[in-house]
Structure 1
């Protein structure tokens, strides 16, 4: 799974280039988060009902993973 490092100091971007960079960074972060949730849902969908019960989930819970 991918991880996103949020412990770095954030510098305030200046000017239009900084704003465009911030939008790009936000979009990439959102796409990475969405993809991680998608991969998790796909992996959980492949488990049997018994295996899902062992980890405290039901088949209906899979779509609520975000």
Structure 2
């Protein structure tokens, strides 16, 4: 009987790719949410920001 060549099986590669894609998508969504929040807050007046306990400087800290 001849020796059959068997390719090594790569396990978990698909799982890591999916995890990486899921992580990337999650980070992209979080970044966009923070960006939209900063835009909305930057449109508020100083008085409105004060009403919700924020200052202009706090807007830049939103990540």
- CA–CA distance in structure 1, aligned partners of residues 14 and 40 of structure 2: 39
Q: What is the aligned partner in structure 1 of residue 62 from structure 2?
A: 65
- Misfit runs of 4+, over 4 Å: none
Q: How many residues align?
A: 53
TM-score, length basis structure 2: 0.79
- Structure 1 vs Structure 2 CA RMSD: 0.9
1:17 maps onto 2:7 in alignment: no
- Unaligned 5+ segments in structure 1 are 1-13
Q: In terms of Rg, which structure is larger?
A: 2
* CA–CA separation in structure 2 for the residues paired with 1:18 and 1:65: 32
